[in-house]
Amino acid sequence: MKNLIPSWIRVPVLFFIILGTVEFFVDSGKQPAFVKYPAVLLFLLLVLFILIAIEGIVGSLENVMFQKLSPEAKAKFIAEKNKSAKITWLKDTYIKLLGSKPIEQEGEIILDHSYDGIKELDNDLPPWWKYAFYISIVFAVVYLIRYEVFGGQNQIEELNEEIAEAQVAIEAYKKTAKGLVDVNTVTILTEASDLTAGKNVFQTNCVACHMADGGGGIGPNLTDNHWILGGDIKSIFHTISEGGRSGKGMIAWKAQLKPLEIAQVASYVLTFQGTTPANPKVAEGDIIVDPNAGDASEAPTETSEEGEAEVQPDSTLQTEAEVPAEVISE
C-alpha cells in the first residue's frame, strides 16, 4: 500500500479524515471546531506533525535497511519497487480529453502557410470542450421544453409556493405552541393547569394592589363589569403586557413575565367576574360585557383530596405583599 500511494497523497488524506471526524463529533455550532476551540487546533497540528514524522522515520529506516543490503538484495528491492502498480488511468483520461497530438506527430497537422516563419497547427477542438458543448445543447432543449412548452414553475413561483407552505406550517405550529402567544392571537385559557399557573402569577405579583379575591385596593376592582382599558382577553393581555394609563396605571409586565404567563394571568383575572369579594372597591371605568368572559370562570377546576378547589379565587387567601405592585387597569 505504501508503494501504491505516495506520501504526499497519503498524509493529507489521513489528516483530512481525522479533521472530518473531529468536526463530526465536536459540537461547535456554525463555526469550525478548530476555530471555536483552540485546543482542537493544537490537537490537529499535533496530528499533522505526527503523520509527517512517521513518514520521515519510516523513510529513514527504509534507507538505513537498504544500505545494509547486499548488491543482489539491493537490485531485487529496486526491481520490486519499480514493479509496484501505478495509477495511470487519470493521466490517460486527461490526455484523451485534451485531444492534442504528441510533439513527435505535430508534423502531420502543420498547415502549409506560415507567418514570418511561424507555422500553424490544425488542431481539433479539445474533446472536453466538445462534450461540454453537446451537454449544454441537451440541457437547453430540456430546459426549453420543461419551462416554456409545459409551463414549469420558475424560481420566483417556486419561492412564493415555499413561502406560502412555510406560513401555513408556522400558523399550525403557533396553534400548538402556547409560548408564542401575543396580543393578536391570545385566547381565553380554560384548562385547569393554565388557570392554576395564572393564579400563582396573580398571587405573586398582583394581590398587593387588587387583593387576593380581586376586590381591589390600590388597583381597581376586578369582579365587576366595569373596565378602564377594556375587559376582553386581548385588552387585558395588552394592559398587563404594556402597562396601564400613563402616570397612574400599572407598570408594563412584559419584561418580567413571559407571553404565556401573561395569557394565563389574564385568563385567571376573568374568573373573578361575578364573584363577591370581601371588601369590593367602588367600580371604575365603563360597563363592558365580554360574551367570552364566562369561558374561563366556568372552566372545570381540579380538586385536591380534601375537595377544595385549586383554581377558583379564594376570598380568604392571605398573601404577603412584598413591594406594592402597580395597578392592573381593567
CATH number at residue 200: 1.10.760.10
Number of structural domains (the chain) is 3
Question: How far apart are the C-alpha atoms of 257 and 212, rounded to whole Å?
Answer: 19
Positions in the chain short of pLDDT 70: 1-4, 82-89, 289-330
Q: Look up residue 317 and give its three cell numbers.
A: 387567601
Would residue 180 count as lying in a domain?
yes
Q: 301 near 192, Cβ under 8 Å? A: yes
**Angle in degrees, CA 42, 45, 48, rounded to 5:** 150
| The last residue of a domain, from among 137, 152, 167 | 152
| The last residue of a domain, from among 67, 87, 107 | 87
Q: Look up residue 285 and give its three cell numbers.
A: 371605568
Question: Is there a single domain that holds both residue 196 and residue 297?
Answer: yes
Question: Is there a single domain that holds both residue 103 and residue 244?
Answer: no
Would residue 272 count as lying in a domain?
yes
Question: Is there a single domain that holds both residue 108 and residue 18?
Answer: no
Q: 272 near 222, Cβ under 8 Å? A: yes
- Which residues constitute the domain of residue 263? 175-330
3-class DSSP assignment, residue 107: helix
Question: Is there a single domain that holds both residue 179 and residue 297?
Answer: yes
Cβ within 8 Å of residue 109, ≥6 positions away: 101, 121, 122, 123
Helix (H) or strand (E) segment spanning residue 210: helix 207-210
Question: How far apart are the C-alpha atoms of 230 and 250, rounded to whole Å?
Answer: 14
> Which pLDDT score is estimated for 83?
62
Question: How far apart are the C-alpha atoms of 168 and 166, rounded to whole Å?
Answer: 5
> Which pLDDT score is estimated for 3?
57
